[in-house]
Amino acid sequence: MKRQRIRYADWSAAEYGAALRCLLGGRVARGPAPERLAARLAAQYAPSTVYPLNFAHTGLAIALDLFRKRRPARDEVVVPDYICPSVVQTVEAAGLRAVPAAIGPDLNLSVDGVRAVLGERTLAVVAPHMFGSPAPIAAIETLCRAAGVFLVDDAAQVVGEAAGGRLLGTFGDVGLISFAQSKAVVTGVAGSGGVLLVNDPELDDEARAAWEQLPAPRGRLRALLDFLWNYQWQGWTGNSGYYFRRIGERLGWQRVAPQPARIANLDAAIALAQLARLPRLRSGRIACAEAYHAALPAGYGIGFPQYAPGRYLSRVMLSLPPATDLDALRERLARAGVETRLGYQTRVCAERPDDAATAAARRLLGLPFSAGLDERAIRDICNLLINTLKSVPTVPSLPIQDNETSHSAL
């Protein structure tokens, strides 16, 4: 069977062309694209205001700071049991405590889960739409308003998706969008872009002031090369990036973690190219998710917890039967040519190992997913998955892996 890789971005000549124009024009960090991007998104998300940044979590840090100034006695932030680790890290870096709340079968915060942990010290709730599947955000918004708690509508993984006629990202006080790998719009990795949407006009002056103080990002050319070499072209470059990194470490080259910044001109230009193609990518991804759903036979204990007909998803994440030896399964699939990835293995998740939904979250397997993946390839992948599943050993329970930044979970 043809090798099927995990795709981290659906790029065409338009995205490569946009990047090349920035490089040839010497406009990597600064240029006109961020303003054009802000105007493009402001037209879509109005009346929310739009602040393009280097990460979604840069926007979260700004928002938490604004919230804290208004309610200094509160120091807890509710996050789902199942969440991207950078959200928890940002909460903790702000000197706040991340309080895990139960998720539903779709891996999203449940309304009851939020209600159960709201208290006098709750400053804010962060409600993501996991892998694109909408959380019960309207009900969470009502709950937060009644409790006097700020709400972050974490739409990191979607652009332009709506629930009940309202765009995801525009609920609550602020919203987030990310342009990192495996999102709706992908410009690269490690600081390639994000957006803070300010939905509450009363927060806007201070949010703008915080944004204006941010510098232009550094190191974006190197980050682009990293993305191309280690993600986009990995089918050809293999593991050479790993060896280059090891050599760099031996030579004493330090990797500097990206600091909070605005979006780079390079990344904004790529985002504009992606946004122009988004309607086509969106329909291709919906068709891909539907083809997976159709190709997975019942009776093998495989779940597709976020699927709904016609729903946009940013990834296909399947829930495997309890006690499946995921490592053995992944290894056999890889040998047969199908690359897979794990779900997030977060510390918050690890704190509540008995929770049924959390346990399901730790049995997730991500399969190749992209707008152009055809039905036949999807059927082949599903057949291989089922045949392989029959032959893998079972394990008593999955170990908690400390792979928060591991490539395979991204």
Ligand X SMILES: Cc1ncc(COP(=O)(O)O)c(C=O)c1O
Binding site for ligand X (CB under 6 A): 55-57, 84, 86-87, 128, 154, 156-157, 176, 178, 180, 194
Residues 382, 296: contact at Cβ < 8 Å?
Answer: yes
Write down the least CB distance from residue 80 to ligand X, Å: 9
For the CB of residue 217, give the shortest distance to ligand X in the complex, in Å: 12
Q: How far is the CB of 56 from ligand X (least distance, A)?
A: 4
**316 C-beta neighbours (distance < 10 Å), count:** 25
**How far apart are the C-alpha atoms of 334 and 262, rounded to whole Å?**
38
Rounded Cα gap, residues 32 and 208, in angstroms: 18
Q: How far apart, in whole angstroms, are the C-alpha atoms of residue 49 and residue 170?
A: 10
Is residue 115 within a helix (H) or strand (E), and if so which, with residue range? Answer: helix 111-117
Q: Which residues contact 11 (CB under 8 A, 6 or more apart)?
A: 186, 232, 274
Indicate the residue among 226 and 380 with the shorter CB distance to ligand X.
226
159 vs 335: CA distance, rounded Å? 35
CA 15, CA 216: separation in Å to the nearest integer?
21
Beta carbon nearer to ligand X, 178 or 234: 178
Smallest gap from Cβ 176 to ligand X, in A, equals 6
Contact 201, 46 (CB under 8 A): no
Q: CB of residue 7 vs ligand X: minimum separation in angstroms? A: 16
**Which CB sits closer to ligand X, 370 or 379?**
370
d(CA 60, CA 260): 11
Backbone angles phi, psi at 6, to 5 degrees: -70, 130
Identify whether the C-beta of residue 101 lies closer than 8 Å to the C-beta of residue 362. Answer: no
Least distance CB 260 / ligand X (angstroms):
10
> What's the closest the beta carbon of residue 154 comes to ligand X, in angstroms?
5
- 317, β-bridge pairs: 366
By beta-carbon proximity to ligand X, the closer residue of 128 and 136 is 128
Check if the beta carbon of residue 223 is closer than 8 Å to that of residue 189. Answer: yes
Nearest to ligand X of 234, 346 (CB atom): 346
Which residue lies nearer to ligand X by CB, 176 or 261? 176
CB closer to ligand X out of 109 and 111: 109
Residues counted in the chain: 410
The CA angle 83-87-93, to the nearest 5 degrees, is 140
Q: Which residues contact 74 (CB under 8 A, 6 or more apart)?
A: 68, 120, 121, 122, 123
Q: How far is the CB of 290 from ligand X (least distance, A)?
A: 23
Nearer Cβ to ligand X, position 80 or 377?
80
- Least distance CB 399 / ligand X (angstroms): 23
Q: Copy the structure tokens of residue 252.
A: 């004493």
Q: Shortest Cβ distance from residue 405 to ligand X (Å)?
A: 11
Give the nearer residue to ligand X in terms of CB position, either 133 or 388: 133
Q: In terms of CB distance, is 11 or 55 closer to ligand X?
A: 55
Token couple for 342: 């794990």
Chain-centre distance of CA 370, in angstroms? 15
